[in-house]
């Protein structure tokens, strides 16, 4: 089965959806969309450093994505609005990454694969990394679910319950960096934020509980991966963007359903 590139691509897409769904729910609840975008853009710099140092692409992307996320957390509230800070860091990291790639001697790299993903080229090793990362993210979020939810809803309530909101923010930061690192091969740096946000946003009108929203988001993400790959195969379109397009259509459908119910 794993000798079939479409089977590997499908499993990779589902793996990323499993990692992104619960995390994406917190990104939506905390209004952290641009935070995810900044971390994803930084991953390109991680790719360049990984190639220069001849280490794993996953390790390089993870290290730089985590560094970016920690930098944003450290600099927040120091005289800059969050959207300004994220805008500067996101686009600067992407620009430095693209420039750094151009200086790598004797290395030919398909930047489009890292910007928009190359899910059809996923290998067995990539698949193991993706599912390992997905399991780690799901485990982290599941372990801290109650504390994360309390810190998200009300920081004062979290303090009263003996929960440190900054520690929970660190858990989200680490999970986000891992998700970016495993997803860059599938949808690329420019579309990772979309895969985090769109399925969760599509699930919101259908869910009655936070846990339900995370599960529905996972189902929408996995369904988008399968349907997007099928559409890409039939229509000969880019796989990563096709997956995000299907998720966007799901968002439109659930939005219409919410409008009908409200009417």
How distant is the alpha carbon of residue 46 from its chain centre? 15
Judge residue 151's burial from the number of C-beta atoms within 10 Å of its C-beta, 0-12 exposed, 13-18 middle, 19 or more buried.
buried
Q: Copy the structure tokens of residue 252.
A: 């439109």
For residue 80, what pLDDT is reported? 67
Q: Would you write out the chain's pLDDT as a tens digit for each of its 263 residues? A: 455 878 888 998 899 888 888 888 888 888 777 777 777 778 888 887 887 778 887 888 888 888 877 777 777 666 667 677 777 877 887 788 778 777 776 666 666 777 777 888 888 888 888 899 889 988 888 888 888 888 888 888 888 888 888 888 888 888 888 888 888 877 887 788 888 889 999 999 898 899 999 999 999 999 999 999 999 989 988 888 899 899 999 999 998 887 776 65
Please report where in the chains the tokens 């499908």 appear, as a residue: 10
Residue from 16, 56, 11, 50 nearest 191 by CA: 16
- Measured between alpha carbons, how far is 43 from 85 in angstroms, rounded to an integer? 17
Residue from 204, 227, 220, 190 nearest 20 by CA: 220
For residue 250, what pLDDT is reported? 94
Q: What is the CA radius of gyration of the chain?
A: 18
Exposure pattern of 41-61 as b/e (b: 16+ CB <10 Å)?
bbbbbbbbbbbeeeeebbebb
Q: Copy the structure tokens of residue 67.
A: 């560094």
For residue 223, what pLDDT is reported? 94
Residues in CB range of 158: below 8 A, 6 or more apart: 147, 150, 151, 164, 165, 168
For residue 199, what pLDDT is reported? 93
Reported as a single tens digit per residue, the pLDDT across 78-88 is: 666 767 777 78
| 49 phi, psi to nearest 5 deg | -65, -40
For residue 91, what pLDDT is reported? 80
Please report the domains of the chain, with CATH numbers, ordered by start residue.
5-191 (1.10.3470.10)
Residues in CB range of 45: below 8 A, 6 or more apart: 64, 93, 94, 96, 97, 100
Reported as a single tens digit per residue, the pLDDT across 61-80 is: 888 888 877 777 777 666 66
């Amino acid at each position: 089965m794993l000798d079939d590139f479409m089977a590997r691509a499908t499993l990779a897409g589902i793996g990323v959806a499993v990692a992104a769904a619960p995390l994406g729910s917190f990104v939506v609840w905390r209004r952290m969309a641009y935070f995810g975008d900044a971390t994803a853009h930084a991953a390109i710099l991680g790719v360049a450093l990984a190639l220069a140092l001849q280490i794993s692409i996953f390790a390089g992307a993870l290290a730089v994505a985590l560094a970016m996320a920690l930098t944003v957390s450290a600099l927040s509230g120091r005289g800059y609005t969050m959207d300004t800070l994220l805008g500067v860091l996101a686009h600067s990291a992407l620009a430095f990454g693209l420039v750094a790639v151009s200086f790598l001697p004797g290395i030919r790299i398909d930047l489009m694969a890292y910007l928009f993903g190359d899910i059809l080229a996923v290998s067995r090793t990539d698949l193991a990394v993706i599912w390992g990362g997905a399991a780690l993210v799901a485990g982290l979020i599941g372990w801290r679910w109650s504390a994360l939810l309390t810190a998200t809803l009300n920081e004062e309530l979290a303090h009263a319950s003996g929960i440190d909101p900054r520690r929970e923010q660190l858990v989200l930061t680490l999970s986000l960096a891992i998700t970016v690192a495993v997803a860059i091969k599938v949808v690329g740096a420019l579309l990772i934020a979309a895969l985090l946000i769109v399925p969760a946003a599509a699930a919101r009108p259908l869910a009655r509980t936070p846990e339900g929203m995370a599960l529905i988001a996972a189902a929408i993400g996995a369904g988008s991966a399968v349907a997007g790959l099928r559409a890409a195969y039939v229509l000969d379109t880019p796989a990563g963007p096709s997956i995000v397009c299907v998720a966007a259509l799901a968002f439109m459908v659930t939005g219409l359903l919410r409008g009908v119910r409200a009417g």
